[in-house]
């Protein structure tokens, strides 16, 4: 049997990091078994689905490198892979189930359902709706002629159980007495999620359904529908939901949840894939940094944890820094230069490109997010006209600041060998002569040349900046102190 899996987001919002993890796990599983990874669009919610959300999903799937073998825009033997283009198929299935008495027209109202469920709870019985409030079959045609709002419900066989082995959670047993006769067609004759998703899985030959645990309770419904259609059930695996550091379900109160926000903040896809993979799966050997190719080799679906996984932005940022530092200088420049130029509002000159290349190893070593590059590199191309308020207050409004700047001016003016080593020796001589710590004596120089206490290593930065520009910036800051 060839493995066929699917990722089926609804275009009703931006791609969520939890959904991205689900997509990644499906992708890894498919590629581990040389199977097929399908991307479809569960877009039956016409009011909330938008083209903008669909574009966001596709764009960020590609950003992560999760190429799909069949599906939206790629094509395949199943048309557009959009549920909104398959309504006729869903209606055909609903009619088939009605004819086989596996489904029925339902006229029960929401108020009636609420009363039914409350009475069941009061009596200590199952509140699952079992069709007992429906009119006599002989009255159904009359009810429809009179404009009754009928849905179509699947007839759950009772008594009975649905039993399956979940890839993540092991043996699962659902008593049919606890399962509603669930709606498969709304009164406007549009399909519910249960019908559309199951019919697609059957028609597309899906062998494994890997999805979030919030859909675990829907699985007996989907299995019953699958078997009613005469098809073999898929193997199911339900992933634990992502939690925030406070142990509650990940939401906006924990920070950004849309993948686009992390991309814009300067995370790289390699780090995001790596981090998401470790949220509920272990590659073994306590490894932390692992490539997608290595994940594919090991991801057979057997080491997925059922325990909730905590999404920690601090750990993600640390991992992102690891991947940035592992970039070659050329790859880093390719990513970073456009960001610097966008920040400056102009292209770098040939001379500036050389300066940036020299600065690259220094910036790369101190960068956790790509969005930090512009702030670290700006000083090399633009002299500070304003200074970071907190940095100025903390460093420049001290008795040592003027002494440090005066000493640095004198030492650097007389320096003939403009190199990192010579600059280091000269400025440390100033510290020694004035009995100042590095923090008291070097931080004022850093603020003078960069505008902030946060910058690449000082001595290397001064060498790259050049003698004339360095002295001019130190003198300007010293004048402001006066």
Q: How far apart are CA 33 and CA 235, in angstroms?
A: 15
> Burial, 51: exposed, middle or buried (Cβ in 10 Å; 0-12, 13-18, 19+)?
exposed
In the block, residue with structure tokens 């970071």: 388
Orientation angle between helical segments 313-325 and 269-277, nearest 10 degrees: 130
- By annotation, the residues acting in catalysis are 252
- What residue has token string 């940095």? 391
Rounded to the nearest 5°, which phi and psi values hold at 279?
A: -85, 80
d(C-alpha 301, C-alpha 242), whole Å: 18
* One-letter-per-residue 3-state SS of the chain: CCCEEEECCCCCCCCEHHHHHHHHHHHHHHHHCCCEEEECECCCCCCCCCHHHHHHHHHHHHHHCCCCCEECCCECCCCCCEHHHCHHHHHHHHHHHHHCCCEEEECCCHHHHHHHHHHHHHHCCCCCCCCCCCCCHHHHHHHHHCCCCCEEEECCCCCCEEEEEECCCEEEEEEHHHCCCCEEECCCCCECHHHHHHHHHHHCCCCEEEEEHHHHHHHHHHHHHHHHCCCCCCEEEEECCEECCCCCECCHHHCCCEHHHHHHHCCCHHHHHHHHHCCCECCCCCCCCCCHHHHHHHCCCCCECCCCEECCHHHHHHHHHHHHHCCCHHHHHHHHHHHHHHHHCCCCCHHHHHHHHHHHHHHHHCCCCHHHHHHHHHHHCCCCCCCCHHHHHHHHCCHHHHHHHHHHHHHHHCCCCCCHHHHHHHHHHHHHHHCCCHHHHHHHHHHHHHCCCCCCCHHHHHHHHCHHHHHHHHHHHHHHHC
- CA 264 to chain centroid, in Å, comes to 12
Q: What's the distance, CA 64 to chain centroid? A: 9
């Amino acid at each position: 049997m060839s493995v066929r899996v699917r990722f089926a987001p609804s275009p009703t919002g931006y791609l969520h990091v939890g959904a991205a993890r689900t997509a990644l796990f499906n992708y890894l599983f498919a590629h581990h078994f040389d199977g097929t990874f399908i991307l479809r669009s569960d877009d039956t919610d016409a009011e909330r689905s938008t083209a903008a959300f669909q574009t966001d999903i596709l764009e960020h799937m590609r950003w992560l490198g999760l190429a799909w073998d069949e599906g939206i825009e790629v094509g395949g033997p199943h048309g557009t892979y959009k549920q909104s283009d398959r309504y006729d198929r869903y209606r055909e299935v609903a009619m088939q189930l009605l004819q086989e008495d596996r489904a029925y027209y339902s006229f029960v109202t929401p108020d009636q359902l609420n009363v039914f469920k409350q009475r069941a709870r009061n009596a200590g019985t199952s509140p699952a709706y079992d069709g007992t409030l429906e009119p006599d079959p002989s009255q159904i045609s009359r009810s429809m002629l009179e404009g009754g709002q009928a849905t179509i419900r699947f007839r759950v066989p009772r008594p009975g159980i649905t039993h399956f082995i979940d890839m993540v959670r092991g043996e699962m047993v659902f008593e049919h007495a606890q399962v509603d006769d669930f709606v498969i067609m709304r009164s406007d004759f549009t399909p519910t999620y249960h019908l559309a998703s199951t019919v697609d899985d059957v028609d597309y030959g899906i062998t494994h359904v890997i999805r979030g645990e919030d859909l675990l309770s829907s699985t007996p419904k989907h299995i019953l529908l699958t078997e009613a259609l005469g098809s073999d059930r898929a193997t199911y695996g339900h992933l634990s939901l992502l939690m925030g550091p406070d142990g509650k379900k990940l939401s906006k109160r924990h920070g950004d949840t849309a993948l686009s926000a992390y991309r814009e903040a300067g995370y790289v896809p390699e780090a995001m894939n790596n981090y998401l993979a470790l949220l509920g799966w272990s590659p073994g050997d306590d490894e932390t940094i692992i490539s997608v190719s290595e994940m594919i080799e090991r991801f057979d679906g057997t080491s997925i944890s059922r325990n909730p996984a905590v999404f920690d932005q601090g750990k993600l940022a640390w991992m992102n820094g690891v991947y940035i530092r592992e970039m070659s200088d050329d790859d880093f420049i390719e990513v970073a230069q456009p960001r610097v130029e966008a920040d400056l509002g102009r292209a770098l000159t040939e001379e500036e490109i050389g300066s940036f290349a020299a600065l690259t190893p220094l910036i790369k070593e101190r960068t956790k997010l790509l969005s930090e590059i512009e702030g670290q590199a700006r000083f090399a191309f633009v002299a500070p006209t304003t200074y970071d308020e907190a940095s100025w207050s903390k460093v420049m409004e001290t008795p040592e600041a003027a002494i440090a700047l005066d000493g640095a001016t004198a030492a650097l003016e007389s320096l003939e060998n403009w190199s990192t080593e010579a600059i280091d020796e000269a400025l440390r001589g100033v510290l020694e002569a004035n009995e100042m710590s590095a923090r008291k004596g070097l931080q004022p120089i850093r603020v003078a040349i960069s505008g902030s206490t946060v910058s690449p290593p000082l001595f290397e930065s001064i060498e790259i900046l050049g003698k004339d520009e360095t002295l001019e910036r130190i003198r300007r800051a010293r004048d402001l102190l006066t």
